Structure 1
Amino acid sequence: MVIEEGRCGDEGATLRAVSSAVLAVTRHLSVHEVLQVIVRAAAQLLDARYAALGVPDDEGSFAEFVVEGVTDEEWERIGPLPRQHGMLAAMLRGDTPKRLADIRREPEFEGWPAAHPVLKDFLGVPIRDGEDVLGIVFLANKRVPGGFTDGDEELLRLFAAHAAIAMANARLYEHNRELTVVAERNRLARELHDAVAQKLFSLRLTARTASALAERDPVRTVRELEQVERLAAEALAELRAVIFELRPADLADGLAASLRKHVEVLDRAHETEVRFAADGADVLPEEHEAVAYRIAQEALYNALRHAGARAVDVRLAGDGERVVLEVADDGSGFDASEPGRGGGPGQGGGPGRGGERGQGNGDAGGLGLASMRERALSIGGTLTIDAAPGRGTTVRLEVPL
């Protein structure tokens, strides 16, 4: 088969355009960002003046509706989100794309707000995941005369197939993030109960004992009051540590500076010596640094709460090809050879037994080693755990640049 040189060049340019559009979409993780980039990429890909993407809800309207080519002022004049009527409803019920020379001549064309831009040539393609319609992408008013072509329709169908994958991945990412938030809240609730609440309970009993002894045994009363003071100080330190963990990570100054600040606070709040060192650490993308920071937080939490360590060292280094983050303690350690406990490359190990270093906070899906492993994988990194009973634990994260 002979392909004309000009046509071959056009097809190559088209494929590059599709590739660029798909890459632009897949770089984003939040659902709203993905929708906005899909609309913008579709409009640029097919040279359309207007583009929109509607995600249907279960109440006859749209859960999300993003547009391209309409200013904020114009969108405000248009009014509320559109409902599933007219051409939008026809597209939702249909299984095939819709390409029209003039949408205004169609029977389904109705209910458009007075402030809505004037639409003429129209192309709509459903974004499908199997039998489910994730959304519909609409294009209108092609900038060059003649309207949308067969080739435009095929191109948008191809792009919509990739957009479906990006939307599904973004939804999965946000769902996993929500689960992580729930797990973090549960962990902090357990921490408040196990550490702070128990100390406060002991403090209350000790204070009551001191009150009962005040008249008949002043010497012992003094000792009990000293115990009250000690327990109150410990409870305050525990509470401060938990509150500090609740604060969102501020990585404005970069990963190294943020880790150094975090380590300094933990060193003051705990009897364990916590140290930090950085050596030529390269700069990671912001979202990667946030993940690395959270992994360091969890490793530090395990070391300080469960290892019985005298010292914990946090080290950050880079060699131009990767960034390496290590959290090493000299605590009780554990048997990394046990199933679900250790971790080879890309593995963080699973949950362990309650109260031991590296344990998964008592539940299989907890925010322990399994969570660190998943976070490492989410940024293309590998997590390894080097541990043995009596010789401490080292959590090592490697992230390629």
Structure 2
Amino acid sequence: MYEVQSVPAVLLSESRPSRLLWRLIEASPVAVAASSQDGKILYVNQKLADLFDYEVNELIGQEIEILMPERYRADHRMYRAVFTENPRTRPMGSGLDLVGRRRDGSEFPIEVGLSYYRSPNGLIILSAVTDITRRKQTEELLERRVEERTREIERRRRVADSLRDILRALNSNRPLQEILDLIVAQARELLHADASAIYQLHDEEKPLRFQAGVGIVPEHFSVVYDGEGVDLTALQRREQSGDLREIILNHSESATPLFYAGDGAYCAQLAVPLKLKDEIYGGLMLYYREPRRFSPEEIELAVMFGDQAALAIDNARLRIQAERAAVAAERNRIARDLHDSVTQTLFSASLIAEVLPRLIQRQPEESMRRLEELRQLTRGALAEMRTLLLELRPATLMEVSIEELLRQLTEAARGRARIPIELRIVSDGEPPSEVKVACYYVAQEALNNVAKHARAQSAEVSLICSAEQARLCVYDDGQGFDLKAVTPEHMGLAIMRERAESIGATLIIDSAPNAGTSVTLLWSKTDTSSI
């Protein structure tokens, strides 16, 4: 066994090459310790002494466990005994996270490489120690950055998913209230708010109107803004002055609650104005129970949700305007139809009725012909009125049978065109409602063309239908037209094609000058099953 002795004594007791070796170890930039198999420190270089904040002589003869925390010493003694029985080299970087203990008790991460030498006096264990504090700090920094980056990627993914959901809702026919509920819910979740709401600027008596909210109800909302939760006059002043920059209300300096609502106190809030062109419509509000500051990314995200809410409101306004315009256009069309058909038909009927009394006495045969013409005119006017009533109530078109719909159209067209129009229907079942409505409108446009443009002597409407297929044909023997010379906008051709495409049907128009015209609609359920 080695006798514990000072470093000079060790150097003097060894041969000259050994002394050279010890001097090289002493000058090494790596902290090195040599210990006996019973754990006594035989030698340390100055680098190791400095690393652990000891003097060299203070460590000689001490147990090697003095260089590690108390909690690890018992386990290390057991490990040292096992190593002594079966020594082996353990290089640096073996993956073991070890902890060193300085003289003052402070701890720091180390990495230890082990080797051994069998001397005549027993086993000598050599330990090379490296302080890996900086490496550990770098690793921890990298881990934090990876975690932050991962969280940021996840946040961006959730934002993208949220935007996708909102855009899908904006492009649908969902009600405005449903879309606003979705936006405030997504804003609350992604901005980690305790409550969120959308309000509309109203009048002076009640300046705000609650539109949507999550975590807060209208009663709480009115309590908030009856107090001093937000300066509404700022929004109104900005609107009047035309300064429509984003207004962000950020209260986060103090833990003193800004306001109380329901059973909670709120210490921070974030407000984003909802701008529609040159008008401030209202605002998107986010409420927080804890005081906080808002990062630029959070403010940008809140503004984005505000833009989506403004877009939803603007779309709803445009939809209402479009619906009103469509109603007005439909009223104008009905008025034109009344003027072009019913009014003129009734005017012709009134003229015939005025001359009938005189014709009966002078020309009985002519009076009978006129009387039949009067009957046709009145029946046509009645059918025309029924048709217009059906169109005023679109749901009725779904309920009435296809035979009755075509019969009304045919009678109305007879009255307007004053020509015989034959109706033939072979039905083996009622086609789907959307097919029935498409057939109705195609037949209507085709018969309008017969009455206005064909100059025909006769016409025919035929329908062969079942639940699986339908074939509608409107034919007249009139003057016809050149298909290449007529644009789709003329004669209702575009309308008929749109109706056909809406049900996946085929529209065939066959016409030539002085050769009549046929309009054929072909529909089959098997052809539309994939649509």
Name the residue aligned to 1:365.
none
* 1:76 Cα deviation from its structure 2 partner: 9.8
Larger radius of gyration: 2
Distance across 2 between alignment mates of 1:134 and 1:204: 59
Q: 1:315 and 1:73, CA in 2 relative to 1: closer, same or farther beyond 3 A?
A: farther
Shift of residue 204, structure 1, vs aligned partner: 1.0
2:98 is aligned to none
Contact 2:198 2:213 in 1 (8 A): yes
> Structure 2 vs 1, CA of residues 104 and 168 (structure 1 numbering), >3 Å: closer, same or farther?
farther
Q: Shift of the alpha carbon at 1:52?
A: 1.2
Amino acid at match of 1:208: E
In the alignment, is residue 393 of structure 1 matched against residue 519 of structure 2? yes
Identify the match of residue 443 of structure 2 among 288, 300, 322: 300
Cα separation, partners in 2 of 1:384 and 1:334, compared to 1, 3 Å: farther
Aligned to 2:375: 229
* 1:358-377 aligned within 5 A: 358=492, 369=494, 373=498
Match of 1:192?
Answer: 338
Whether the 8 Å CA contact 2:442–2:496 is kept in 1: the answer is: no
Kindly provide the amino acid, as one letter, of the partner of residue 261 in structure 1.
V
CA contact (8 A) 1:51 1:67 kept: yes
Q: CA deviation at 1:198?
A: 1.5
**Aligned 8 A contact 1:310 1:330 in 2:** yes
SS state at 1:122 partner: strand
Deviation at 1:60, TM superposition (A): 11
Pair 1:261 & 2:404 matched: no
Ranges in structure 1 where 5+ consecutive residues have no aligned partner: 252-257, 284-288, 319-323, 342-349, 360-368
Aligned residue number for residue 95 of structure 1: 245
Quote how far apart the aligned CAs of 1:264 are. 3.0
Residues 1:54 and 2:200 are matched in the alignment: yes
Instruction: Specify which of 158, 162, 172 is matched with residue 27 of structure 1.
Output: 172
- Tell me how far 1:90 sits from its aligned partner: 5.1
2:59 aligned residue: none
Between the aligned residues of both structures, percent identity stands at 25
The structure-2 alpha-carbon separation of the partners of 1:168 and 1:75, relative to structure 1 and needing over 3 Å to count, comes to closer
Q: Distance in 1 between matches of 2:273 and 2:406?
A: 55
Shift of 1:20: 2.5
SS at match of 2:340: helix
Alignment partner, residue 349 of structure 2: 203
> How far did residue 234 of structure 1 move?
1.9
| 456, 461, 464: which one aligns with 1:311 | 461
Between the two proteins, the alignment pairs up a number of residues equal to 342
> Does the 8 A contact of 1:39 with 1:51 survive in 2?
yes
**Amino acid aligned to 1:393:** V
1:122 is aligned with what amino acid?
A: Q
Distance 1:75 1:250 in 2: 44
Contact 1:127 1:163 in 2 (8 A): yes
Give the CA RMSD over aligned residues. Answer: 5.1
What does 1:155-166 correspond to in 2, within 5 Å? Answer: 155-166=301-312
Asked if structure 2 preserves the Cα contact closer than 8 Å seen for 1:98 and 1:123, the reply is: yes
Partners of 1:312 and 1:329 within 8 A in 2: yes
Q: Match for residue 423 of structure 2?
A: 272
Letter in 2 for 1:240: R
* Alignment partners' CA distance in 2, 1:125 and 1:272: 64
Q: Please identify which structure carries the higher helix content.
A: 2
Q: Distance in 2 between matches of 1:326 and 1:148?
A: 69
Superimposed CA distance per residue, residues 104-125 of structure 1 (whole angstroms, 9 cap, x where no aligned partner): 99xxx9xx9x99x986532222
**Which runs of 5 or more structure 2 residues have no equivalent in the other structure?**
1-141, 226-230, 411-421, 452-458
| Alpha-carbon distance in structure 2 between the residues aligned to 1:325 and 1:133 | 52
1:135-150 mapped onto 2 (5 Å cutoff)? 135-142=281-288, 145-146=290-291, 149-150=294-295
Once residues 310 and 262 of structure 1 are traced to their aligned partners in structure 2, the CA distance between those partners, rounded to angstroms, is 19
Q: Equivalents in 1 of 2:338, 2:448: separation in Å? A: 12
Q: Is the 8 A contact 2:180 2:312 kept in 1?
A: no
Q: Aligned partners of 1:55 and 1:316: how far apart in 2?
A: 56
SS at match of 1:392: strand
Q: Do the aligned partners of residues 18 and 335 (structure 1) sit closer, same or farther apart at CA in structure 2, a change above 3 Å counting?
A: same
Residue type at the aligned position of 1:179? A
Question: CA separation of 1:220/1:26 partners in 2, compared to 1, >3 Å: closer, same or farther?
Answer: closer
In 1: Cα distance, 2:326 partner to 2:219 partner: 38
